[in-house]
Structure 1
Amino acid sequence: MASQAENTNDPLPVTIDDIRMAAKRIEGAVVRTPTLISRTLSDMIGADIFLKFENLQFTAAYKERGALNTLLQLDDEARQKGVIAASAGNHAQGLAYHATRLGIPSTIVMPVPTPTVKVTQTEGHGANVVMHGETFDDAYAHARQLEAERGYTFVHPFDDPRIIAGQGTIALEMLEDCPDLDTLVVPIGGGGLISGISTVAKAQERGIEIIGVEAELYPSMYNRINKAQRVCAGDTLAEGIAVKEPGAITSRFVAENVDEILLVGERSLEEAVSLLLQIEKTVVEGAGAAGLAAMMTYPERFKGKKVGTVLCGGNIDTRLLANVLLRDLARSGRLARLRIRLQDRPGALFNVARIFHEQGVNIIEVYHQRVFTSLPAKGLITDIECETRDEKHLERLITALRDSGYEVSPVELA
């Protein structure tokens, strides 16, 4: 992969020793999260799957590591003036939390459309939040302006050697807990996480394969490394890695250390979030589930290997999480909406409901449509949301309805 990207003769600015020093700096101030095997996921993928639970950090994301490592290296003058960042996500909360804990003033610039819950959480960690612009680029430009005007220290979310060294401490812990891992699967947004992890992996005497993962909608690092022109746009569940321009520094690490970048679709991300909640009983945001999504999408790529992946964050909106879980139930046939054509006469709905009862299917909602339909005036459409045991149970219900003379069609998900 190194030959496909821009190269420089300068050595990479972070070494394994930098990461070891970062680990000593932050020790005791961040959670030493566990790395645990998932027996069920291992059986599903056909590999030994180990999960690094970075969603158990205090701010529910790994970003604390790099932020704290950076803050601890500031001189007294910089500490007094304070730090600034542009972020609407996990970097904002990690930086704000540790800055406040260390007595360092922090300012976070967020785009105006940032969800209120993220603003509130960041303010709750003690930061001064400034709302500016419609996009991240607007917020970033304003943060750099405030940096120049007020003498703040700007803390970049990924393109900084101190940030990279802090994030690399994750790999030290993973290999300490599971020294025989042969493959590491790491989400890529700006590239700070995979830069640090790959530095540790490539410093080992034995070979460890490094696989990066990006959302199909935001293949920015994939484009950079492979000289591709894929569009970066759209609403992705993995908003934490939805980065249009990867870092200049991090791109060098990826070019030199990363073996392959895989792209995953939205459906795989949704399924991975749902599986982690159902199987591991852990809440993971879309970006944090990207590694599992890659293994689900390309199982042959990982078959028979000992694979470690980072559940890098757990900050997902509860309403979004509910939608993801319900959509997963629908795709598996356990939740369905059936569109049934009826005659508008007494007992019509009762007779349909009786078939649901006979088949042991629970009715959740009933939607009658008499007016906005192309049927004759005496016809009506009824949508019935129902709960079944599995896809075969749903098929038996549909067969029973059709055998009784009803026109039935499932309302499919996109």
Structure 2
Amino acid sequence: MAKHFHLNTPLLESLSMTKYVGTSVYLKMENSQPSGSFKIRGIGHLCQQLAKQSKGVVCSSGGNAGMAAAYAARKMGVPATIVVPSSSPQLVVQRLQDQGATVKITGRVWDDANAEALRLAETEGLTYVPPFDHPLLWQGHACMITEVAASLGPGVKPGAVLLSVGGGGLLCGVIQGLKDVGWTDVPIVAMETVGADCFNAAVKAGRLVTLDDITSEAKCLGAKTVCKKAFEYSQSSELTIISELVTDQQALCAVQTFLDEERVLVEMACGAALAAVYSGLIRGLQDEGRLPTLLGPLLVIVCGGSSVDMEQLTHLKHKLQT
């Protein structure tokens, strides 16, 4: 059995977040993965399955999927080409290059970069690593829930799971994980920012929707269309998935509060999930009867993010305060 590229991450109880929600809050600290986010679970798994004999891997990503693909490729000794949109911070480009990847900047949004990655896979015979839409990715991500079940111990299960949605890979992985441990009755609160809300738009429309543009600053949530599997899950009567939105300001405020209270810096995409606690949204869902008033422990997936530093945080504060 090949060694995994991901770590079994800490599950930490947050007393400060517990005060906001009134029930115990557990943080699955995916920000501590070697590539900076949960993505290494699925992408590491996919690369081990598909890229062993590869001439190289190619991945389209404005950040975390690219970091994970570059990390896995470096560990496997195969070349990596990461195609990023021009909206990606210079910090990300630098970090990808530090991992030994060739970085190609194409188009304005992820969808443009993805078209180029698919072309390169075709013309240069590279293994295409999709950032969120592949069963092997979801299978890899699912193990985080198995870890949570082991950490909480027998007889304890979350009252709800709170996570961010970009393209839907994390959501699909978490659902797969909940199935694996027999927790399909646990509701999921799926968070997005206004302007990067392809999942919420699909849930509202009752069909897949392609956004005209990504206007949110949470660039790592920036897929214009959510993956089909995530949408199908939202329509399933066996699962409870509550799709909610916060503003960029709320997500940024959550990032700052999390930094102050937990001493951890995450990116805006992760802040979308944290904002559900800090902005009172979880309490609101309880008041509306959409989550139980007596809620079991809340499991928050701290998905992390490698495209943030203090300079980027300051830049976002100036930009969003106007």
Distance 2:270 2:11 in 1: 14
8 Å CA contact retained: 2:74, 2:99? yes
Structure 1's 324 and 275: CA in aligned 2 closer, same or farther, altered over 3 A?
farther
User: Could you tell me which amino acid in structure 2 is paired with residue 157 of structure 1?
Assistant: P
Q: Deviations over 1:252-289 (max 9, x none)?
A: 23433442111111222122111111111111111112
Unaligned runs of at least 5 residues, structure 1: 1-23, 329-412
Structure 1's 241 and 177: CA in aligned 2 closer, same or farther, altered over 3 A?
same
Unaligned runs of at least 5 residues, structure 2: 287-292
Residue of structure 2 in register with 1:84 after alignment = 58
Residue of structure 1 in register with 2:230 after alignment = 250
Question: Are 1:301 and 2:285 an aligned pair?
Answer: yes
User: Could you tell me which amino acid in structure 2 is paired with residue 314 of structure 1?
Assistant: G
1:216 CA drift (Å): 1.8
Structure 1's 314 and 114: CA in aligned 2 closer, same or farther, altered over 3 A?
closer
Query: How many aligned residue pairs are there?
Result: 304
5 Å matches for 1:8-19? none
Question: Are 1:283 and 2:283 an aligned pair?
Answer: no
Three-state SS of the structure 1 residue aligned to 2:245 is: strand
Distance 2:227 2:175 in 1: 15
Question: Are 1:211 and 2:194 an aligned pair?
Answer: no
1:111 CA drift (Å): 2.5
Residue of structure 1 in register with 2:242 after alignment = 260
1:220 CA drift (Å): 0.7
Residue of structure 2 in register with 1:376 after alignment = none
Q: Please give the TM-score of this superposition, normalised by the length of structure 1.
A: 0.68
Instruction: Give the one of 31, 35, 39 matched to 2:7.
Output: 31
Residue of structure 1 in register with 2:216 after alignment = 236
Structure 1's 277 and 39: CA in aligned 2 closer, same or farther, altered over 3 A?
same
Residue range with higher mean Cα deviation, 38-47 or 226-235: 226-235
Residue of structure 1 in register with 2:27 after alignment = 51
1:138 CA drift (Å): 2.5
Structure 1's 102 and 203: CA in aligned 2 closer, same or farther, altered over 3 A?
closer
8 Å CA contact retained: 2:66, 2:96? yes
Larger radius of gyration: 1
8 Å CA contact retained: 1:61, 1:313? yes
Distance 1:158 1:76 in 2: 20
Distance 1:318 1:152 in 2: 35
Q: Please give the TM-score of this superposition, normalised by the length of structure 2.
A: 0.86
Residue of structure 2 in register with 1:313 after alignment = 304
Name which structure has the greater RCO, CA cutoff 8 Å, separation 6+. Answer: 2
Distance 2:313 2:259 in 1: 10
5 Å matches for 1:281-360? 281-295=263-277, 296-298=279-281, 299-302=283-286, 304-305=294-295, 306-315=297-306, 316-322=308-314
Residue of structure 2 in register with 1:195 after alignment = 172
1:66 CA drift (Å): 0.9
Residue of structure 2 in register with 1:134 after alignment = 108
Three-state SS of the structure 1 residue aligned to 2:7 is: coil
Three-state SS of the structure 2 residue aligned to 1:213 is: strand
Alignment RMSD (CA, Å): 2.5
**Identical-pair percentage:** 26
Residue of structure 1 in register with 2:161 after alignment = 184
User: Could you tell me which amino acid in structure 2 is paired with residue 209 of structure 1?
Assistant: P
Distance 1:104 1:181 in 2: 39
Residue of structure 2 in register with 1:94 after alignment = 68
Distance 2:221 2:214 in 1: 12
Residue of structure 1 in register with 2:289 after alignment = none
8 Å CA contact retained: 2:214, 2:222? no
Distance 2:311 2:24 in 1: 32
User: Could you tell me which amino acid in structure 2 is paired with residue 163 of structure 1?
Assistant: L
8 Å CA contact retained: 1:34, 1:53? yes
1:203 CA drift (Å): 4.4
Residue of structure 2 in register with 1:388 after alignment = none
Three-state SS of the structure 2 residue aligned to 1:73 is: helix
1:76 CA drift (Å): 4.6
8 Å CA contact retained: 1:63, 1:91? yes
Three-state SS of the structure 1 residue aligned to 2:167 is: coil
Structure 1's 46 and 119: CA in aligned 2 closer, same or farther, altered over 3 A?
same
User: Could you tell me which amino acid in structure 1 is paired with residue 27 of structure 2?
Assistant: L
Structure 1's 141 and 323: CA in aligned 2 closer, same or farther, altered over 3 A?
closer
Distance 1:232 1:286 in 2: 21
